[in-house]
A and B are shown apart, each in its own frame.
Chain A
Amino acid sequence: MKAGKPESMPVAIDLREVSVTFGTGDTAIRAVDKVSLSVQEGEFVSLIGHSGCGKSTLLRVIADIIPPTSGEAEVLGMEPGDARKQRAVSMVFQQSVLMPWDTVLENVRMPLEVGPTRHQSSGAMSPMEALKLVELDGFENAYPAQLSGGMRQRVAIARALVTKPRVLLMDEPFGALDELVRDSLNVELLRIWGEAGMTIVFVTHSLQEAVFLSQRVAVMSRRPSRIAAVTSVALPENREIAVKDTPELGQQVALLRSILDEG
């Protein structure tokens, strides 16, 4: 907790001039360059940008996987490491990274069985509850190899939800799925977000997906890897899949594309 900051302020994620540099000397690569971004609690924010613009790196700073080289990152008013240790943060990756030797249920239960023991049972949901949330109840005894790509990603989401995280970080979670599966998972993610009410930071390549899902979209530019613009999405709160085909969404996508092309 930073001194002088009021506790009631509903900021989930606060990045101030965060830079990440990989390597040293002439070969150093600045993956993220002085990025400042603030995400409110309960907000759905997407990060978009070209490959290598540093959006995944930024997500890893929030998840305390990569420390910022300079600048400050705060998650729920804490150092990212403390938020992580409190199990306030969950992450979903592009690959479902399930453990193929464990059943679906064992995979979803895993977060409750590792980490600091005192957090294991407090404030978590049951693995079956998490599976129900992603509509995979009945599949608890299946092995990952028996599931389709979309179902595996649902399991990965259930695994992320089981700790009841206040912040959910998603790194291109549907990037490897075909469009139809992606659409249905988009709708489901919105439903889960509506029910669980956590903060979501969502990295994606797809402008359409970003606009459809988010309340705000942060566009990252390449070289320097900065946030070029943050736009609010003017779409109704209750979004159904048909919204993806509306001209309003198309306009938002076009706007983001023009910002991306400038960056």
Chain B
Amino acid sequence: MTLHEGAATGRRLDRVLSINGWFIFAFLYLPILVVIVFSFSGAQNVGIWGGFSLRWYERMFGNGPLLHSLQNTLWIALFSTIISTVLGTAAALALDRYRRWVGKGAFDAILYMPVIIPDVTMAVMLLLWFTQIGLPLGRGSILLAHIAFNISFVAIVVRARLANMDPAVEEAASDLYATRWQTFRRVTLPLIMPGVLGGALLALTLSLDDVVITSFVQGPGATTLPVHVFGLIRRSVTPEINAVSTLMVTASMVLVFASLAIQRRE
């Protein structure tokens, strides 16, 4: 094959890949867009445009059980994020900054499992465990479950940040007689902050979105918004679900942008 021919096939391949790429972006975005657009439709039937209307949003904000579940969701997401961020960051420091300690290898392996485990399996595990130890199911059990899966995500994000950080900076601080706490507070923490906040936002998103695990470990009167909506979707498709969905998607998008903005502030 001559060089000229090679370049031509390369260009053709590139064009094919580009078309494929934009097609996939359409595949990823159009369905979400349809949901958002129809949340503003006045028609009773989903999929038929009935003129611009905010009636489904009005109805959503007048829906007592839905608002109550939203309140639960926010409470659980806030506390699970705070606790898992502290625990996950400490775990990441232990794994990245300390060469050897008792049980490090096992901990490393355990930490990755909650990330790949299917939701259903984790849900079954926690339900069996909570029933066995006699823990009443409710807001508290949902919180405990969310922390269990969030720690890993925070630790992985923070660890990636630590791995890219030059340990010489910390050594320099120690050489200048900074105590361990001062070194952490003034040098390490500011440098890993984008990772810590990125991990926290990921934890927040995961907690706000979880359906399966929450539906297993929830108790009477303590459901979350996604579980409530899941129940509604299983019954029927209504325009009000589009309004709630739009609210949830918007929340996650705001969180991604916040996370990206923080991560880019090197």
Is B truly associated with A? no
